[in-house]
């Protein structure tokens, strides 16, 4: 309440202040707009009264200008660097529209920067990468997956949870050990809530991976997004202060256009497993064992693994209606997505309804925009992998001598109990196994979401060079997720009558800001600045109920649950209040100096009885168009720019640490279990970046290169303290994580006869280093941590060490002899584990990634494809280990058919003994035997489109485009037994260990788009 | 222009800064109780007291889980006392059951007792001293001893007189810890005696054991004193006798009826239920030693304690096995007996135990207020009553039944009968003969209070237990002497190095599972 009052007070104050700046003169007012040859607005173009040098303005972000000229002036001169000057007679007009034509090829685009502030691309001192909506052509239910390979400096990994699952988007390397590393999404300048139920700092464990849900961004309809820009670096994102450290993905919502048009599109893709494990078909089971270490089979297996999977599909239908005139425009859209995954039982559905209206009022001085979205999502059985509820474990490990079909009738009538119970006689085999068909049908997870997003903005042009913008948005999401484990499920998952989980999560984020924007030119000097204040309020409430059913089997209601069932309620409230300012000084439209500052007051840092201290985040940058500055312009090098910037940004502080409270269990408040270091601070990243952009050979080739270096301080550690202190946890800041890297991109635009060819190459390399771990003093006692395990198994660990990197994998090994050869027992011919000896296998992150996109347009036909390469990185496959242990892997069969497993160059005949040692039932595998290079090259995307010339036959349909689309079409090179680009989730430690992850999918389909 | 911008910025920041006053409210976790809540309804004392009580033998109370009980009791004292057999199918658990102690299991004992028990006591003590609250502090001292003696009985020397420093705390010798126990119990009993006589009730809404009856708390304190006195008999007989006789002589009395047992109310299922039924289809089953005694004695309590296997008999599981396939040991296979955990209570101390303690005192010639035979037979009868078993008289008179040889119902891990002790009292049996009878029957009667069962086995070397199939201890544990203690949590070496060093020094031996504690002095 107080905040709202304050904001309105501020708003009024600012209005009053600027009133005094408005002047009136006895002159003629001419308005107009300056566009380039593509019809895009030119910002910062000079408009001069011809003959009167002192009268001049520059165009605003929409290319508009308003100039007051003495009555004597008869014409205006329009100038813009890189464009030929235009002199236009006023001839009594009060509105003049001018199209300027390039006299050279220069960087002239407009980019959307932090808070939605538009800037001339040449003026920004950091890299801003823009993505048009064509990127979403090969539709994925979560459109963020389409960004993989398109952006330098960004690693996009789809989770193995299938359609609509979370996507891990990390920009310029992981910066935080315990906090969030995923990029911030921003719509029209305002941050979106992440809405992820994953805790990013969670350690890796083999059990989790079920009951997942998509993140907030996956709720959007990509048709509602006009374009995106990626602010990968802290400098670009600096205005988001405590949310800026991980970079920002800026989305602009689609607006209506002048005239009336209706678009209908259908996109249908079919999904099949992209990579499945290679299995043997020669050996069957020993009597009474699930594993396949038995006799050679006399006949070919009667089943194959792929029979379990179904053909997935993803159908998206959307209708968009755009209408508008000179003063207003409206975009209305509706979309429906129906999808099912390749694993039976996995399904996804979504409805989106959007209305976006913009209008110019008060003679074009007041710009109003209203945006409303409703999203309804349903998810069924979203499982990424892991040991619990995973049908792939019994499926992959099933013997070729067994028969999958006999388990297909997964439940049979149990006369004693009077209902059908699970058909499965193998027990859990220490891998929580059940009948795979039972798992997908009778351990079900369903999640429903309703999300409402309502916002509006008002922009008032006080003078041609000054405007005041006020924006507000509220974003409300209700998530209801249920899990039903039917009676006769494994005891770990359900009691005798079944088990029920009923969880509800409510999230609301409300944001409001006011911005005062000014642009003015003083001769050769231009100034652009923004001053603003913002408040963001976030609340989350989760109510979770879980328990065994007590009376009626499989009646999943709260009344039928155990009275002492687990109830958990989590409430979270955060508020951040901020003030910020930016200033950009330009000289001759060739040199720009840029500075921003933001100050955040965060409720999470509020301590009892103390005033909250602000945290200040500054940034500075400079860019110079050297071709203009040094007059180097030539047809070989028409444009070249260099840029440098520095920023300090933050990551959201952990809440509640400042004010310890007593958790209540069984009605009784419990003592506080943690202590917080008295000077606890949020994480802070300081970052430099340097770069250059150039166009060469008359624009044939464009190049962009950036080098960056960031240091992230105040990492959060919770060192173990002695229990004798009576506390279990201590929160302390320490350590530093460094990232540095290079981003390169190149574009070639060349006409090959009648074919327009565009080729883009993106290359990115990041080096992560944990410069410092914990080294501090608590109460005079030195506390140091130089190694920290972030989960794993007895054979592979995600280990953080001083001098190491986030994502390092350590593995145990086979016992070796004094000469370094693998130790083989002289009597039994068996191998053994070297206990508790861990060596570094590598890092899960790539050394570098490269993607190469090509598009060819010939008349009405277009063809585009993208090849993605990832080089370097190591992953460990516990799936492969389990397959070996159970004797179902292809190689376990081949070696048995041959002379044995080659060890030290000689075959070891006892294949069973070897693989039951190294495979260790999967979870106890010897990690070194299952480390794989994650290098892979694939044909990531292919689209082939044809624009049907319908206008020949009818005037009703304006355009009809049909396309063939494909994703993940062909793996060109890959040595790992799983798709290395898959991650188990969006958490920091979810990548690099494959433990029965759901397979990635090959997507093939078509799309039809009709415009009326 | 610029100056104006700056002045606006300053004005705006001042305005905004002033409205962060509400932040304190936002920044608190409203799902949790705040300091001001604790001032209500005597929670400051009551909540801390109940937390302390819950720490004595943990259960699923909303803070701890059944899996915590599993690792701190079930996979330690429960199996090493011979009661249970671990069928928790991991390499770590298999090694642990063969005495290669897996650090994370006993560590939980250490962590829980300090972070839950001592933490509550520290808070309560500070508040009571500040506000001169005598009764709650005296009650809390009793419960503190009840909870902390398990820690010293697991590990030996522990931090006791000094706790609470984040940078670590020095350990006391076990002798000092036990002497502190006696002092604290004595102080508490002295304080509470008049209130007990007056029938005072305190903390009744919070006390989950005796509903605030101070008379019962005094009985419990005297009985606990007797237990701890007996524990130190081989280390310091005078100390033992003085405290044992003082406990018996105290006018407040001892726990002599099952209605006075220290049983935690409102527990729901005993943790063993969840561990057997819901954890991997049976993470725990009955042990081979329990099988041998209960079957051999044809004990009427047999199927109160254990569920019959598919063949209708009680079949246990031996320790130190590591089969490649654990499924035959799981519930579904029906080869072995599961604990009948729905019948179990969280019981800190029962009347039967007190009777057996007095029987032992009597054979030592101490003034226990009765004869060894009477106490012995009372103990058996009280235990039968507690389990709801019939036929106590015939059982007491049975002079022939002996522990049976163990026959593995799954594999071939058979074992000879561990002892030839019989049930009926025999006045002519020597001291050791009588002691074995008392210890054996007490061991049965203590179940499922495994921490006490394991400690008393180590003190008395009775009942003779079947050794694990494999001794995985790498030579640190003598197979015949069996496991003597738990090594300290490895985390103590790094987080409390001085404390750890002081503990190892006081231990007087290597920090491994074979080193004998201060009170563990009976010659082999």
- Which of A682-696, B146-160, B217-231 is least confident? A682-696
Across A282-286, A549-553, A560-564, A691-695, least confident range? A560-564
Share of chain A above pLDDT 90, in %: 50
Picking from A564, A578, A670, the nearest residue to B63 by CB comes out as A670
Does position A14 have pLDDT exceeding 70, yes or no?
A: no
**What single DSSP character describes residue A412?**
E
Residue B288 has pLDDT above 80, yes or no: yes
Q: Is the pLDDT of residue B411 over 70?
A: yes
**A449 CB burial (10 A radius; 0-12, 13-18, 19+):** buried
Picking from A581, A658, A724, the nearest residue to B5 by CB comes out as A581
Instruction: Tell me the three-class secondary structure of A778-826, residue by residue.
Output: ECCEEEEECEEEEEECCCEEEEEECCCCCCEEEEEEECECCCCCECECC
The mean pLDDT value for A582-598 works out to 91
Judging by beta carbons within 10 Å of its beta carbon (0-12, 13-18, 19+), is residue A825 exposed, middle or buried? exposed
Please name which of B62, B61, B87 lies closest in space to residue B74, comparing C-alpha atoms.
B87
DSSP A218: G
Q: Among B368, B517, B465, which Cα is nearest to B81's? A: B465
The mean pLDDT of B86-97, rounded to a whole number, is 87
Of B20, B37, B324, the CB nearest to A577: B20
CA-to-CA distance for A981 and A87, rounded, in angstroms? 55
CA distance linking residue A187 with residue A228, whole number of Å: 9
**B1 has pLDDT over 70:** no
Residues of chain B contacting A783 with CB distance shorter than 8 Å: 495
Which pLDDT score, from 0 to 100, does residue A565 have? 63
Query: Which chain B residue shows the shortest CA-CA distance from A539?
Result: B26
Total residue length of chain A:
1012
Listed residue (B404, B419, B409) closest to B315, CA to CA = B409
Q: Do A608 and B24 touch (CB under 8 A)?
A: yes
Selecting from A10, A491, A726 the residue whose C-beta is nearest the C-beta of B278 gives A491
Side-chain-side CA neighbours of B282 within 13 Å: the count stands at 26
**Among the partner residues B11, B20, B495, nearest to A721 by beta-carbon distance:** B495
Residue A954 contacts B, CB cutoff 8 Å: no
pLDDT at A609 over 80: no
CA distance A593 to A620: 8
CB contact A3 to B (< 8 Å): yes
- B207 CA: distance to closest CA in chain A (Å): 12
Q: Which tens digits make up the pLDDT trace of B442-480?
A: 999 999 999 999 999 999 999 999 999 999 998 999 999
Contact check, Cβ <8 Å, B19/A2: yes
What sign has the CA pseudo-torsion B66, B69, B75, B79? negative
A546 to chain B, any CB pair closer than 8 A? The answer is no
Chain-chain contact of A430 with B332 (C-beta, under 8 angstroms): no
- Taking an 8 Å cut-off on Cβ atoms, the answer to whether B166 and A721 are in contact is yes
Chain A residues close to B38, C-beta within 8 Å: 662, 669
Whether the CB of A605 is below 8 Å from some CB of chain B: the reply is yes
A780 touches B at CB < 8 Å: yes
Q: CA of A698, closest CA in chain B: separation in Å?
A: 41
Query: Chain B: nearest CA to A920, how far in angstroms?
Result: 10
Q: Which of A844, A851, A815, A804 is nearest to A976 (CA)?
A: A844
pLDDT of residue B283: 92
Cα separation of A118 and A106, whole Å? 18
Q: How far is CA B189 from the centre of its chain?
A: 22
Q: CA–CA separation, B57 vs B267, rounded Å?
A: 11
Does residue A729 belong to the interface with chain B, where contact is any CB pair within 8 Å? Answer: no
How far apart are the C-alpha atoms of A463 and A470, rounded to whole Å? 16
pLDDT tier at A901, thresholds 50, 70, 90 = very high
Query: Under an 8 A CB cutoff, do B163 and A725 touch?
Result: yes
Rounded Cα distance between B460 and B468, Å, is 19
- Phi and psi at B155, nearest 5°, equal -110, -30
Distance from CA of A764 to the nearest CA of B (A): 39
Q: Tell me, what's the ipTM?
A: 0.86
Residues 230 to 259 of A: which have CB under 8 A from any B CB? Answer: none
Q: Is A755 helix (H, G, I), strand (E, B) or coil?
A: strand
Backbone angles phi and psi of A905, in degrees to 5: 90, -5
For chain B, give the mean pLDDT. Answer: 92
Residues in Cβ contact with B523 at an 8 Å cutoff, skipping those fewer than 6 apart: none
Inter-residue contact B198 to B218 (CB < 8 Å): no
Dihedral pair phi/psi, residue B196, rounded to 5°: -60, -45
Residues A811/A926, Cβ–Cβ less than 8 Å: yes
Query: Rg of chain B's alpha carbons, rounded to an integer?
Result: 25
Candidate from A428, A662, A916 with C-beta closest to B280 = A428
Residue A514 sits at the vertex; the CA angle it makes with A511 and A518, to the nearest 5 degrees, is 145
Q: Are the Cβ atoms of A726 and B9 closer than 8 angstroms?
A: no
Half-sphere exposure of A447 (CA within 13 A, CB side): 27
Q: If 0-12 CB within 10 Å is exposed, 13-18 middle and 19+ buried, where does residue B58 land?
A: buried
Contact A800, A808 (CB under 8 A): yes
| Cα angle for residues B40, B43, B47 (degrees, 5° grid) | 160
Mutate to test the interface with B, among A667, A668, A675 (most CBs of B within 10 A): A668
Q: What is the mean pLDDT of residues A859-870?
A: 93
- On whether the CB atoms of residues A169 and A156 are closer than 8 A, the answer is yes
pLDDT reported for residue A10: 47
Residue A295's pLDDT is 92
Question: Does residue A1 carry a pLDDT above 70?
Answer: no
Question: Out of A466-480, B318-332, B468-482, B492-506, which region has the weakest mean confidence (pLDDT)?
Answer: B318-332
Question: Which of A251, A224, A229, A252 is CA-nearest to residue A154?
Answer: A229
Contact flag A601-B16 (C-beta cutoff 8 Å): yes
Q: Which residues of A touch B28 (CB under 8 A)?
A: 656, 659, 661
- The mean per-residue pLDDT over the stretch B382-387 comes to 97
Residue of B nearest to A433 (CA): B280
What is the distance in angstroms between the Cα of B81 and the nearest Cα belonging to chain A? 26
- The whole-model pTM stands at 0.84
Q: What is the mean pLDDT of chain A?
A: 88
User: Of A10, A429, A569, which has the smallest distance from its Cβ to B15's Cβ?
Assistant: A10
- Confidence tier at B362 by pLDDT (50, 70, 90): very high
Residues of B in contact with A655 (CB under 8 A): 27, 29
Residues with Cβ < 8 Å from A973, sequence gap 6 or more?
A935, A936, A937
pLDDT score of A20 more than 50: no
Helix axes B372-387, B431-446, angle to 10 degrees: 20
Give the C-alpha separation, B21 to B35, whole Å. Answer: 19
Q: How far is A160 from chain B (nearest CA, A)?
A: 26
Question: pLDDT band at residue A435, thresholds of 50, 70 and 90?
Answer: very high
pLDDT-derived band of residue A82, with 50, 70 and 90 as boundaries? low
Alpha-carbon span A844 to A842, nearest angstrom: 7
CB contacts, 8 Å: A426 with chain B: 327
- Most A CBs within 10 Å: which of B23, B48, B328, as the mutation test of the A interface? B23
Binned at pLDDT 50, 70 and 90, residue B10 comes out as very low
Residue of A726, A779, A812, A913 to mutate, testing the B interface (most B Cβ within 10 Å of its Cβ) = A726
Q: What is the mean pLDDT of residues A466-474?
A: 94
Please tell me which residue, B217 or B277, carries the higher pLDDT value.
B217
Say if A825 is an interface residue toward chain B (CB within 8 Å).
no
Long-range contacts of B156-160 (CB under 8 A, 24+ apart): B156/B485, B156/B503, B156/B506, B156/B507, B156/B515, B156/B517, B156/B518, B157/B502, B157/B503, B157/B506, B157/B507, B157/B518, B158/B503, B159/A722, B159/A724, B159/B114, B159/B496, B159/B499
User: Which letter does DSSP use for residue A55 in this model?
Assistant: -
Q: Which residues contact A1 (CB under 8 A, 6 or more apart)?
A: none
Contacts B495 to A, Cβ<8 Å: 719-722, 783
Band (pLDDT 50/70/90 cuts) for residue A21 is very low
The mean per-residue pLDDT over the stretch A643-655 comes to 87
Q: In which region does residue A807 sit, left (phi positive, over 0), alpha (psi from -120 to 50) or beta (all else)?
A: left
The confidence score (pLDDT) of residue B21 equals: 66
Phi, then psi, of B458 in degrees rounded to 5: -70, -35
pLDDT value at position A680?
Answer: 83
Among candidates A491, A495, A726 on the partner chain, residue whose Cβ is nearest the Cβ of B118: A726
| DSSP 8-state code for residue A922 | T
Name the nearest CA neighbour of A477 among A507, A509, A446: A507
Average pLDDT of span A735-743? 94
pLDDT tens string A370-386: 999 999 999 999 999 99
pLDDT number for residue B37 = 85
Q: How confident is residue A138, by pLDDT bands cut at 50, 70 and 90?
A: low
The predicted pLDDT at position A922 comes to 84
pLDDT tens digits for B173-184? Answer: 999 999 999 999
| Contact flag A669-B22 (C-beta cutoff 8 Å) | no
Cβ pair A604:B268 closer than 8 A = no
Choose from B4, B16, B70, B323 for mutation: most chain A CBs within 10 A. B16
Candidates A159, A277, A275; CA nearest to A878 is: A277
The minimum CA-CA distance between A433 and chain B, rounded to whole Å, is 10
Q: Write b or e for each residue in A78-95: b if 16 or more Cβ atoms lie within 10 A of its Cβ, otherwise e.
A: bbbbbbeebebebeeeee
At A405 the three-state DSSP class reads helix
Mutation choice for A interface testing from B5, B7, B28, B177 by most A CBs within 10 A: B28
Interface A-B: count of C-beta contacts within 8 A: 240
Q: How far apart are CA A699 and CA A104, in angstroms?
A: 9
């Amino acid at each position: 309440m107080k905040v709202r009052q304050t904001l309105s007070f501020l708003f009024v104050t600012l209005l009053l202040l600027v009133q005094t700046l408005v002047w009136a003169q006895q002159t003629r007012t001419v308005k107009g707009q300056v566009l380039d040859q593509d019809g895009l607005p030119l910002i910062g173009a000079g408009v001069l009264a011809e003959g009167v040098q002192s009268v001049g303005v520059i165009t605003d972000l929409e290319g508009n200008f308003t100039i007051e000229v003495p009555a004597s002036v008869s014409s205006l001169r329009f100038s813009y660097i890189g464009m030929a000057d235009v002199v236009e007679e006023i001839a009594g007009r009060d509105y003049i529209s001018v199209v300027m034509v390039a006299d050279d090829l220069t960087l002239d685009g407009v980019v959307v920067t932090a808070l939605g502030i538009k800037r001339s691309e040449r003026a920004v001192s950091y890299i801003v990468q823009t993505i048009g909506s064509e990127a979403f052509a090969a539709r994925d239910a979560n459109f963020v997956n389409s960004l993989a390979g398109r952006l330098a400096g960004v690693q996009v990994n789809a989770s193995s949870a299938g359609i609509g699952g979370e996507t891990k988007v990390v920009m310029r390397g992981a910066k935080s050990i315990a906090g969030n590393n995923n990029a911030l999404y921003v719509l029209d300048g305002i941050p979106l809530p992440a809405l992820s139920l994953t805790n990013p700092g969670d350690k890796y464990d083999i059990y989790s991976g079920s009951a997942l849900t998509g993140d907030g961004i996956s709720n959007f309809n990509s048709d509602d997004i006009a374009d995106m820009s990626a602010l990968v670096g802290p400098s670009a994102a600096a205005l988001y202060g405590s949310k800026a450290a991980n970079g920002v993905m800026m989305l602009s919502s689609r607006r209506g256009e002048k005239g009336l048009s209706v678009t209908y599109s259908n996109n249908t893709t079919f999904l099949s497993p992209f990579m499945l494990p290679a299995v043997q078909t020669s050996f069957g089971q020993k009597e009474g064992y699930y594993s396949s270490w038995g006799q050679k089979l006399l006949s070919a297996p009667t089943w194959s693994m792929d029979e379990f999977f179904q053909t997935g599909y993803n159908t998206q239908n959307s209708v968009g209606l755009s209408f508008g005139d000179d003063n207003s425009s409206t975009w209305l859209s509706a979309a429906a997505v129906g999808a099912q995954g390749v694993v039976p039982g996995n399904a996804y559905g979504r409805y989106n309804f959007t209305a976006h209206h913009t209008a110019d009022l008060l003679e074009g001085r007041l710009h109003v925009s209203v945006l409303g979205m409703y999203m309804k999502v349903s998810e069924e059985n979203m499982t990424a992998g892991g040991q619990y509820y995973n049908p792939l474990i019994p499926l992959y490990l099933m013997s070729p001598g067994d028969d999958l079909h006999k388990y297909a009738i997964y439940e049979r009538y149990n006369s004693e109990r009077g209902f059908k119970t699970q058909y499965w006689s193998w027990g859990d085999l220490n891998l929580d196994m059940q009948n795979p068909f039972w798992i997908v049908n009778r351990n079900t997870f369903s999640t429903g979401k309703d999300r409402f997003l309502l916002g509006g903005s008002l922009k008032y042009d006080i003078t041609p060079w000054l405007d005041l913008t006020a924006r507000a948005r509220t974003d409300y999401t209700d998530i209801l997720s249920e899990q039903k484990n039917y009676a006769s499920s494994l005891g770990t998952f359900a009691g005798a009558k079944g088990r029920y989980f009923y969880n509800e999560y409510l999230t609301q984020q409300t944001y409001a800001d006011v911005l005062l924007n000014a642009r003015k030119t003083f001769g050769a000097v231009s100034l652009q600045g923004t001053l603003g204040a913002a408040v963001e309020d976030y609340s989350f409430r989760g109510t979770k109920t879980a328990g065994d059913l007590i009376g009626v089997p499989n009646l999943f209601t709260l009344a039928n649950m155990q009275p002492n069932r687990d109830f958990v309620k989590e409430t979270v409230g955060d508020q951040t209040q901020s003030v910020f300012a930016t200033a950009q000084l330009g000289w001759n439209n060739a040199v720009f100096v840029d500075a921003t500052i933001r100050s955040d007051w965060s409720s999470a840092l509020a301590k009892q009885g103390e005033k909250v201290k602000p945290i200040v985040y500054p940034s500075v940058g400079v860019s110079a168009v050297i071709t203009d500055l040094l007059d180097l312009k030539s047809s070989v090098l028409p444009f070249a720019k260099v840029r440098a910037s520095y920023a300090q940004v933050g990551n959201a502080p952990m809440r509640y640490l400042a004010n310890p409270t007593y958790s209540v269990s069984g009605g009784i408040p419990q003592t506080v279990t943690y202590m917080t270091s008295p000077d606890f601070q949020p994480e802070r990243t300081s970052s430099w970046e340097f770069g250059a952009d150039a166009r060469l050979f008359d624009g044939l080739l464009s190049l962009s290169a950036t080098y960056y270096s960031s240091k992230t301080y105040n990492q959060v550690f919770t060192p173990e303290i002695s229990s004798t202190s009576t506390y279990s946890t201590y929160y302390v800041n320490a350590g530093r994580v460094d990232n540095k890297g290079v981003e390169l991109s190149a574009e070639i635009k060349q006409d090959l006869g009648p074919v327009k060819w565009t080729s883009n190459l993106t290359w990115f390399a990041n080096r992560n280093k944990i410069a410092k771990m914990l080294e501090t003093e608590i109460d005079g006692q030195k506390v140091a941590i130089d190694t920290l395990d972030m989960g794993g198994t007895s054979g592979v660990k995600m280990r953080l060490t001083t001098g190491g990197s986030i994502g390092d994998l350590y593995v145990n090994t086979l016992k070796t002899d004094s000469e370094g050869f693998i130790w083989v027992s002289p009597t039994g011919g068996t191998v053994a584990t070297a206990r508790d000896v861990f060596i570094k296998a590598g890092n899960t992150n790539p050394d570098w990634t490269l993607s190469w996109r090509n598009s060819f347009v010939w008349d009405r036909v277009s063809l585009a494809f993208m090849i993605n390469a990832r080089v370097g990185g190591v992953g460990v496959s516990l799936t492969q280990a389990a397959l070996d242990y159970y004797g179902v892997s292809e190689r376990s069969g081949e070696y048995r058919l041959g002379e044995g497993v080659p060890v030290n160059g000689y075959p070891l005949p006892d294949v069973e003994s070897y693989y039951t040692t190294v495979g260790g039932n999967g979870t106890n595998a010897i990690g070194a035997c299952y480390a794989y290079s994650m290098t892979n090259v694939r044909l990531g995307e292919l689209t082939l489109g044809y624009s049907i010339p319908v206008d020949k036959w009818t005037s009703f349909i304006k355009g009809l485009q049909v396309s063939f689309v494909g994703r993940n079409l062909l793996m060109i090179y890959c040595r790992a037994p799983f798709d290395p680009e898959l991650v188990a989730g969006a958490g920091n430690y979810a990548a690099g260990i494959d433990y029965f992850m759901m397979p990635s999918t090959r997507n093939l389909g078509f799309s039809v788009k009709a415009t009326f | 222009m610029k100056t104006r911008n700056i002045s606006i910025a300053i004005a705006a920041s001042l305005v905004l800064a002033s409205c962060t006053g509400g932040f304190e409210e936002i920044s608190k976790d409203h799902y949790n109780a705040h300091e001001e809540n604790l001032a209500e309804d005597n929670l400051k004392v009551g909540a801390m007291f109940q937390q302390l009580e819950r720490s004595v033998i943990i259960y699923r109370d909303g803070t701890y889980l059944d899996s915590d009980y599993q690792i701190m009791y079930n996979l330690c004292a429960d199996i090493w006392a011979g009661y249970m057999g671990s069928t928790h199918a991991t390499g770590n658990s298999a090694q642990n059951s063969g005495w290669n102690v897996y650090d994370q299991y006993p560590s939980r004992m250490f962590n829980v007792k300090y972070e839950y028990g001592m933490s509550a006591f520290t808070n309560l003590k500070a508040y009571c001293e500040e506000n001169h609250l005598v009764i709650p502090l005296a009650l809390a001292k009793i419960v503190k001893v009840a909870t902390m003696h398990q820690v010293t009985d697991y590990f030996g020397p522990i931090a006791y007189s000094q706790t609470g420093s984040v940078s670590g705390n020095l350990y006391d010798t076990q002798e000092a810890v036990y002497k502190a126990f006696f002092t604290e119990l004595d102080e508490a009993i002295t304080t509470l005696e008049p209130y007990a006589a007056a029938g005072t009730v305190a903390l009744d809404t919070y006390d989950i054991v005796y509903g605030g009856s101070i008379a019962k708390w005094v009985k419990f304190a005297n009985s606990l004193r007797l237990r701890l006195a007996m524990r130190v008999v081989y280390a310091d007989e005078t100390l033992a006798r003085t405290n044992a006789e003082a406990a018996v002589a105290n006018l407040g009395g001892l726990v002599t009826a099952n209605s006075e047992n220290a049983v935690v109310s409102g527990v729901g299922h005993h943790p063993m239920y969840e561990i057997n039924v819901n954890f991997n289809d049976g993470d725990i089953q009955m042990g081979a030693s329990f099988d041998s005694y209960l079957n051999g004695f044809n004990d009427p309590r047999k199927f109160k304690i254990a569920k019959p296997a598919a063949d209708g008999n009680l079949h246990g599981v031996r320790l130190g096995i590591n089969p490649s396939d654990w499924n035959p040991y799981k519930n579904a296979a029906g080869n072995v007996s599961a604990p009948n955990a729905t019948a179990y209570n969280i019981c800190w101390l029962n009347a039967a135990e007190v009777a057996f303690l007095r029987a032992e005192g009597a054979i030592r010639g101490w003034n226990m207020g009765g004869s060894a035979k009477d106490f012995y037979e009372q103990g058996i009868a009280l235990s039968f009553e507690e389990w709801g078993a019939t036929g106590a008289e015939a059982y007491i008179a049975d002079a022939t039944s002996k522990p049976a040889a163990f026959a593995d119902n799954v594999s071939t891990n058979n074992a000879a009968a561990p002892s030839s002790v019989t049930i009926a009292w025999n006045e002519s049996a020597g001291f050791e003969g009588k002691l074995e009878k008392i210890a054996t029957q007490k061991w049965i009667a203590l179940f499922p209070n495994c921490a006490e069962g394991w400690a008393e086995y180590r003190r008395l070397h009775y009942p003779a237990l079947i050794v694990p199939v494999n001794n995985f201890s790498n030579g640190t544990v003598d197979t015949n002497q069996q496991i003597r203690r738990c090594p300290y949590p490895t985390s103590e070496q790094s987080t409390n190095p001085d404390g750890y060093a002081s503990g190892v020094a006081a231990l007087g031996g290597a920090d491994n599972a074979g080193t004998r504690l201060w009170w563990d002095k009976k010659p082999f």
